[in-house]
Structure 1
Amino acid sequence: MAHRLLKISSLATAVFGCSGFYLYNKQLDLNDLSVVRFGRAAATTAFISYDYLTAFKHVEYGTEEYWTLKSKVHRRSAERLRDLCCANRGTFIKLGQHLGALDYLLPEEYTSTLKVLHSRAPQSSMEEIRQVIREDLGKELSELFVSFEENPQGAASLAQVHKAVLHDGRTVAVKVQHPKVQRQSSKDIMTMEVLMRAVHWLFPDFAFMWLVEESKKNMPLELDFLNEGRNAERVANMLAHFPFLKIPMIHWDLSTKRILTMEFAEGGQVNDRDYMKKHGINVNEISENLGKLYSEMIFVHGFVHCDPHPGNVLIHKSEQSKKTEIVLLDHGLYQVLQPDFRLNYCRLWQALINSDMPEVERYSRKLGAGDLYPLFSCMLTARSWTSVTTGISSVPVTHAEDIEIQTNVSMYLPQISELLNRVPRQMLLLLKTNDLLRSIETTLQTRASSSSFINVSRCCIRAVARCKLKFTTVVWETRDDRALDKHTHVRTHTHTKVLYLAWCRTADRGRACLNKHIL
């Protein structure tokens, strides 16, 4: 205890010393208030660290009193972190949103508290928006648009979106970056890195440097809206065979690194069951189609949209055609999966669906999990180890199991932290994406449906078959997808029948259901 208190004293001295250094330097640039942002972050980190360090001194580990107290400390620490994110805005809100999405990787007290950051993003003033447009496009608003709504359609951590009408009558969405984010982001990430290292020094089991490293890598990409536009066009071409997918068209002549102008898309959020009911939209169909999109992105193409929170996935039903579309927005954050990683990930999911535990261990180890492969399997599937070993495609998800998993997250946080530092960096955004998609399925009450496993299985088989074709001499032209589909059709169709029959048996639906939907 004395040793740790000495560490905190040293840390406090360093914090105030650094603050003074920052303040001295800021005299050279009065427009940059990093000293305030750094001071808030350092103070919050010190308060949280001291709370964890002293709260459990007189409580026996493992008792009911201990776990109750730990939940309270988690909650008030999460609230302090939330308040810091709201105060510092920008990169801090982005980081908080990322943490809030890790439902099955962080204690519930943190995720539930930080989720509110999606609705607490700051807004830039209209004058700031005009200034960014003037600087980047070289014209006034009136020269570019017939009308431009001053109240944004939505505000996020890095930008806000306004509805506007072009001179040719087309309605567009104009995404404008908050003017100070670009300048502050690198300093904010440096602040996070310094403080994360300090916390790890105090608490060696706390190993969340991966979070800072990912932010350092991804933030410049997310702040480049031209990169976002290119991602949007790439995924639109890649998934053009899905008639239900809508990617808004980019207006390149009105886009820069800080401004992205695109076709305006309407719709309700993907987790809004009331909206779907009002417009006669089939919830199960939406869930299945969303699963198809992401299974193909992850397992077949290895190019994955990694921010599918409800505000970025809209549902729209055309009044004329009555066709229901999934509108995918915000293409700033994508993960490119390397071929070897993607193949091992496919093999792992096949093993999980088939309850092939030797293969689960084998491919978990290949993906860096080591002896923590049981925990890794539970994190990937958000299922208990009992369900994983019994078969995730045959054991229904229960509320009791969800509670068990959330409880285990708090108990195994050091192991989870170690695992997240151990696996390839490509895995980190996939885990976040999985959690976001599961959250949507939970809200829609379609989680662990047969269709989700069927889509994953089909895409895994296609991906593995494509890989095998690269290393074998065949008559078919390997670039011809129609030949590939013919090559894999029998395996896919047979596997789908077996998987669906197992699910129908679990749901007590029998052969009639199988004949109706598969044969």
Structure 2
Amino acid sequence: MAPQLRSVARTVAVGASAAAVAAVALERSPAALDPDSSLGAAASRVVALVRFSRSLYAAARVAFDYRALFKRHAEYASPEYRADRALVHRRSAQRMLHLCRVQGAVYVKIGQHVASMSHAVPPEYRQQLRQLEDRAAHRPFSQIRRALERQLPAGLNATFSHFDPQPVAAASLAQVHRATLRDSKRDVAVKVQYPGLESLVSSDLTSISMLSWLLSWLFPFFNMHWVVDQFRVNLRNELDFQMEARSARRTANFFRDHPRVFVPHVYDQYSTDKLLVMDYVHGFRVDDVEAMHRQHIVPQQVAQTVVDAFAHMIFINGFVHCDPHPGNLMVSPTDSGHFRLYLLDHGLYRELNDNFRQSYCRLWKGFVLRDTPLVEQACDELGAPGFANVFSMLLLNRTWSFAKQLGTDIRVKMSPEEFGRIRDDLKEGGLKSHADVSHFVEQIPDQLILVFKMNSLVRNVNKALGAQVNRFKVNARYAVRGLRVFNNNTPDRPQRHAHAHTATVLAGTHLEESVWKVCELLRACADTAALWMDCVSVEVQLFALDVVLYMFKMWYGFTPYGGTRGGGNSDDVILIG
């Protein structure tokens, strides 16, 4: 009987292995991802099962590795535990990187998002997952050609006189080809969404939701449901290229008077919800310092333009590009030493509502004026009462308890002693572990999460350029302007004007209208005076800070923050636990 059981077991094992090999082969076949394929829904279900099994296996290895870590150590504050934990972080991050590369699509997007969350994830994960920002694998042109033929009513050859089958860029959701329009002879970039992506995204999000629930059950302090929910919304927008075209036009309108910031023109007559045709930008990535030197472009000026552009989006426009990694920022040389900064990939934007933007402006105004009540009020309005130290640390690389004494200058490096003080301050504020940080991030508004992410990506761009742009000054100045713009756009003015017009008609005289015009003129003068007072106050504070830092450095040879004589770039991040 035993030999028979062994024979059956071998048969089952061989059959299961053959089925697994066939399923993986089906997953990798072009027909499985082609919506016109004869394989149909059955192939989609098999592919979804293969991808879920692979994800489950990777998640199980990570979970068991952390379980073993917790069993090996009883004291989580010991140096031995910290060293062992760093090794587990590194192994787990490498597994996640391999999974994201094999799975592609949604997994790459999530990996890129996690890599940008410097405020909530260990450095080992960021170091590994940042590799996902490199060039992604592209689809063969045979698949792309079929997708183009479906989206172009006139067909590929009738629309383009030349179409390069080799993509110039490839991402997780689409790839970009260079082409020439037949009618206008303009060079264009054609962004094509991968065929069969919608069904793949739907099944992947379901799998990730199940894995998130499983991990939160195994580790109650680990809750990433909010990330999955956020990605559902973001991916729905990114898969709609018509929405991306509208965002590009809106952003181009914002910067229509800016001398250096531009957005490629979108050709609506050729674009659909899965196809985007726009002007081709001749240039190089924003972090290509060698190319800038060849074109006699000063990297400091490029960095300053990047910081100004995104501060304008946050504090003035309230419509923010939330994926400004170096691949989405292109520098195009013009005359000698001059350049244009092009914003690419407008699929992920976030509208900041007026209440949030006003509170965020108040937070920065409180920072620069060292106004503790104003900072605490802004934290309350942002949904994080009592977290002034946390916001100051995330935005200034200084805790508020330290920054309000002498101000702050985020160009100056922090000393090890200040790192220790910040860690102690955050622990006293309730952030004693990564679980506390995760809970905190889950509670604050998702708009603020995306602003933090955007700030982190802009900071990385400046770091790659080796620039020392004082982002603190830039943000403080734009915050004051943003508050005034918000106050000048309050909806009560049209109503008051209508009321004055009605009173004029009823009275049959122009007296009321004249009085109203005088009142409006006085109010405009008062608004202008208030704006100037705020600007002067901010500039005085910034100037006084520079004077204090200069005198301290001249007298003692170092800054009061413990930085070196040469200063530096204080873009280090404090991690808890």
TM-score range, shorter chain: 0.7 to 0.9
The whole-number CA distance in structure 2 between the counterparts of 1:354 and 1:233 is 36
Paired residue total: 483
Corresponding residue to 1:55 among 69, 75, 94: 69
Change (3 A) 1:509 1:259: farther
Q: Which runs of 5+ in 2 are unaligned?
A: 1-19, 24-38, 497-515, 553-577
Q: Matched residues in 2 for 1:161 and 1:270: separation?
A: 18
Q: TM-score, normalized by length of structure 1? A: 0.85
> How far did residue 384 of structure 1 move?
4.6
Residue 485 of structure 2 is aligned with which of 466, 472, 481?
A: 466
> In 2, distance between residues paired with 1:116 and 1:395?
27
Letter aligned with residue 498 of structure 1:
V
Q: Distance in 2 between matches of 1:303 and 1:184?
A: 29
Q: Does 1:284 align with 2:297?
A: no
Contact 2:241–2:275 (8 Å) recurs in 1: yes
Deviation at residue 399 of structure 1 after TM alignment: 6.0
Is it true that 1:220 corresponds to 2:233 in the alignment?
no
Give how far 1:188 is off.
1.1
Aligned-residue offset at 1:400: 4.4
| Percent of residue pairs identical | 31
Q: Which segment drifts farther, 383-392 or 150-159?
A: 383-392
- The equivalent residue for 1:334 is 349
Q: Which one of the candidate residues 52, 58, 63 is aligned to 1:44?
A: 58
Is the CA contact (8 Å cut-off) linking 2:295 and 2:333 kept in structure 1?
A: yes
- Alignment CA distance shift 1:201-1:310 (3 Å): same
Describe the SS at the equivalent of 1:172: strand
Mapped to 1, the partners of 2:303 and 2:354 lie a distance apart of 27
Q: Is contact 1:355–1:389 with CA below 8 Å preserved after alignment?
A: yes
Counterpart selection for 2:43 from 30, 41, 55: 30
Flag the 1:486–1:78 CA change in 2: closer, same or farther, 3 A: same
Distance of 1:313 and 1:165 partners within structure 2: 22
Pairing 1:302–2:318 present: yes
Give the CA deviation at 1:354.
Answer: 2.5
Q: How far is 1:299 from its partner?
A: 1.0
Shift of 1:99: 0.7
Output one character per residue of 1:258-291: Cα deviation in whole Å (capped at 9) or x when no partner: 1100000022222222222221112222222222
The 8 Å contact of residues 273 and 444 in structure 1, kept in 2 or not, is answered as yes
How big is the shift at 1:30? 1.8
Structure 2 match to 1:4: none
2:381 aligned partner, one-letter code: K
Q: How does 1:249-288 map to 2 (within 5 A)?
A: 249-288=265-304
Decide whether the 8 Å contact of 2:389 with 2:401 is kept in 1.
no
RMSD of aligned Cα (Å): 3.1
Deviation of 1:126 (Å): 0.2
In structure 2, the partner of 1:165 is: 180
Per-residue CA distance 1:342-382 (angstroms, 9 max, x = gap): 11111111112223233222211221123444223322334
Aligned to 1:439: 460
Matched, 1:455 2:474: yes
Please say if residues 457 and 496 of structure 1, whose CA atoms lie closer than 8 Å, have aligned partners that are also in contact. yes
> Partners of 1:366 and 1:185 in 2: how far apart?
35
CA distance, structure 2, for counterparts of residue 271 and residue 391 of structure 1:
33
Q: 1:422 aligns with which of 443, 448, 473?
A: 443
Map 1:94-493 → 2, pairs under 5 A: 94-167=109-182, 168-319=184-335, 323-384=338-399, 387-390=402-405, 393-394=408-409, 396-398=411-413, 400=415, 404=419, 412-447=433-468, 449-450=469-470, 452-469=471-488, 470=490, 486-487=528-529, 490-491=532-533, 493=535
Q: Which letter does structure 1 place at the counterpart of 2:376?
A: E
Partner deviation per Cα, 1:147-204 (whole Å, 9 max, x = no partner): 1112111111111111111113210000111113222112211111111111111111
* Greater Rg over alpha carbons, structure: 2
Is the 1:352–1:391 Cα contact (8 Å) retained in structure 2?
no
**Deviation, structure 1 residue 485:** 8.5
SS at match of 2:43: coil
Distance of 1:504 and 1:395 partners within structure 2: 12
Shift of 1:246: 1.4
Which residue in 2 is equivalent to 1:504? 546
Q: Secondary structure at the match of 1:173?
A: strand
State how far apart, in whole Å, the 1-side matches of 2:526 and 2:201 are.
45
Structure 1 Cα separation of the partners of residues 271 and 525 of structure 2: 40
CA distance in 1, matches of 2:273, 2:535: 45
- Structure 1 partner of 2:93: 78
Q: 1:359 & 1:367 partners in 2: Cα distance?
A: 12
CA contact (8 A) 1:372 1:419 kept: no
Structure 1 gaps, min length 5 = 1-19, 511-519
Residue type of the alignment partner of 1:187? S
Q: Partners of 1:204 and 1:85 in 2: how far apart?
A: 24
Once the 2 structures are TM-superposed, how far is the Cα of residue 38 of structure 1 from its aligned partner? 0.7
> What's the secondary structure of 1:121's corresponding residue?
coil
Q: Aligned partners of 2:339 and 2:526: how far apart in 1? A: 29
**Structure 1 residue 121, shift from structure 2 partner:** 1.9
Residue 466 of structure 1, CA deviation: 3.2
Q: Residue by residue, what CA displacement relative to the aligned partner does 1:212-265 show, whole Å, maximum 9, x if unpaired?
A: 111011111000111101100001111212111111000111111111000000
Query: Matched residues in 1 for 2:379 and 2:87: separation?
Result: 34
Aligned residue for 2:330, secondary structure, equals strand
Residues 390, 155 of structure 1: alpha-carbon distance in 2 compared, 3 angstrom cutoff: farther
SS of the residue 2:221 aligns to:
coil
Given the superposition, is the C-alpha separation of residues 242 and 393 from structure 1 closer, same or farther in structure 2, using an over 3 Å criterion?
A: farther
Q: In structure 2, give the amino acid aligned to 1:460.
A: A
Contact persistence 2:480–2:535 (CA under 8 A): no
CA contact (8 A) 1:90 1:157 kept: yes
